[in-house]
Amino acid sequence: MAILIKNGRVITADSDSICDILTEGETIAAIGRNLPAPADAQVIDATGKLVLPGGIDPHVHLDMPFMGTFSSDTHETGTRAALHGGTTTVIDFVLQKQGHSLREALTEWQGRATGTAVGDYSFHMAVTDFNPGTREEIKDMVAEGITSFKTFMAYKGALMIDDAQMVGLMQEVRKHGGLVTAHATNGDLIDTLIAQHRAAGQLTPRYHYLSQPEVTEAEASGRFADIANYTGVNAYIVHLTCEGALNQVRRATERNQRVFVETCIQYLLLDASLYGEDFEGAKWVMSPPLREPKDQATLWAGINQGLVQVVGTDHCPFRWEQKQMGRDDFSKIPNGHPAIEHRMELLFSEGVMKGRISPQRFVEVTSTNAAKIFGMFPRKGTISIGADADLVLIDPKKKHTISAATHHMNVDYSAYEGHELTGKITTVLLRGQVAVDAGETKVGRGYGQFIKRGKVSF
């Protein structure tokens, strides 16, 4: 099976030219001008369109047990929705259960994802209980192609590890050439503020936001960077939201330390004014919460300064009915919101079309940098001969409006209802197959493959 994409404006992290791309089987076979079409090739005319590497979202939670329920997108529905939005590969989080092994958790997640995912996926391993047994398992996970280890510095009693465990994990992961990532917020401080608000009868979603002020994230980001610097491990902060936290990363660069930073699309585009006095704000109850316009400005600048390398989603959807678990107490609202489908179009419209970032920067933060940091480059994250033929065609002028009525995520509200965007993804290829075309899914349940990952190559 061959596909010839003709006359598109092909953009990678380091090139921008009008040319053709020929795919053969699952990979890219040729790139050039006026490529002849093989007899059996399907020809796609990309005149007037941009052709980009398939998106990589390294922060999604699919079918994840959390706060007494499960995130509502399965590996099937979540990766299908991702494909509609140009994200061809996602990295999902396996959660170790405290008192249990990493292997048990991996087996559980494999049971949910294998044979069901529509798009490609990989796993991070979230270490929630670092002990001598866990230490022994780190090398086994690396051998499985799981080279990134997530830590939670919050959610005490469920997911949080303390600094002693953090040091031990970092030392072990460093030995095996892996990467440690962190949900970097101060869990004890947050829990204290939550308790104070509840004691005062302050129970609406807005108090979720007020329980996680900037200092909770800045402190933990600095501490994480310091411990990583001491141990020498590759370090990555997930869903960084604010100026105070980014300043801690800036401080780390002054001692020549590199801490990778991911922000998420919602922190660039939405702000805390969405937390009003009623329950509606539950739609955006996530951790960390939405921040202030000054933080958005810092994050956009951070992208252009190269301090923020990745824009993910932290996709962790809950249906409105699930959000009701916290109707009378914000601390019981399942944390998370839906975003997997619209990350690329939102960032394209608000970033590229509004002149905040260049098309190349867009490719870097939506695809290439994640591929390099998480050990998938150059198989994923670029357009080059031999790479997987994961390609996204965007019509840069086409306008459309986001709505829960038309999205593919398994959730009955949209965090961006009514947002009007410029730039529509028209066609998506995954490993040489047309996966989405004109709004229709062309590949089925089970087409998605688990991607074994290697070491950081950034």
| CA distance readout (Å), 103 to 4, 128, 262, 449 | 42, 13, 27, 20
Among 77, 234, 335, 349, binds ligand URP (CB under 6 A): 335
Among 92, 120, 271, 314, binds ligand URP (CB under 6 A): 314
Residue 119's SS3 state is coil
d(CA 173, CA 187): 23
CB of 435 to ligand URP, least distance (A): 26
Let me know: does 92 contact 61? Beta carbons within 8 Å. Answer: yes
Nearer to ligand URP, 81 or 316 (CB): 316
CB of 238 to Zn ion, least distance (A): 6
Angle in degrees, CA 48, 53, 55, rounded to 5: 115
Among 205, 281, 326, 336, binds ligand URP (CB under 6 A): 336
Q: Using the rule CB under 5 A, is 219 a contact of Zn ion?
A: no
Q: Using the rule CB under 5 A, is 361 a contact of Zn ion?
A: no
| CA distance readout (Å), 318 to 121, 174, 325 | 21, 35, 11
Q: Using the rule CB under 6 A, is 63 a contact of ligand URP?
A: no
Residues 25-44 that bind ligand URP (CB under 6 A): none
Residue 350 is given by DSSP the state: I
Q: Using the rule CB under 6 A, is 316 a contact of ligand URP?
A: yes
Q: Using the rule CB under 6 A, is 313 a contact of ligand URP?
A: no
d(CA 408, CA 264): 20
d(CA 306, CA 259): 11
Q: What are phi and psi of 280, to 5 degrees?
A: -50, -35
Piece in contact with Zn ion (CB under 5 A), picked from 74-82, 178-186, 406-414, 425-433? 178-186
CB contact burial 294-324 (16+ within 10 A = b; e otherwise): ebbebbbebbeeebbbbbbbbbbbbbeebbe
Nearer to ligand URP, 61 or 380 (CB): 61
Residues 180-209 that bind ligand URP (CB under 6 A): 183
Q: Using the rule CB under 6 A, is 286 a contact of ligand URP?
A: yes
CB of 84 to ligand URP, least distance (A): 22
Q: Using the rule CB under 6 A, is 379 a contact of ligand URP?
A: no
Bridge partners (DSSP) of residue 235 are 180, 259
Query: Which x/- pattern, by CB under 6 A, does the window 166-185 give for ligand URP?
Result: -----------------x--
Strands 391-401 and 420-430: antiparallel
Q: Using the rule CB under 5 A, is 183 a contact of Zn ion?
A: yes
Let me know: does 117 contact 79? Beta carbons within 8 Å. Answer: yes
Task: Report how far Cα 114 is from the mean position of its chain's Cα atoms.
Answer: 20
Instruction: Output the residue with the shortest Cβ distance to Zn ion.
Output: 183
Q: Using the rule CB under 6 A, is 96 a contact of ligand URP?
A: no
Among 61, 343, 379, 453, binds ligand URP (CB under 6 A): 61
d(CA 7, CA 94): 41
Let me know: does 343 contact 312? Beta carbons within 8 Å. Answer: yes
Query: Which x/- pattern, by CB under 5 A, does the window 311-340 give for Zn ion?
Result: ---x--------------------------
Tokens representing 230?
Answer: 């001491």
Q: Using the rule CB under 6 A, is 287 a contact of ligand URP?
A: yes
Catalog residues that contact Zn ion under the rule CB under 5 A. Answer: 183, 314
Catalog residues that contact ligand URP under the rule CB under 6 A. Answer: 61, 183, 286-287, 314, 316, 335-336
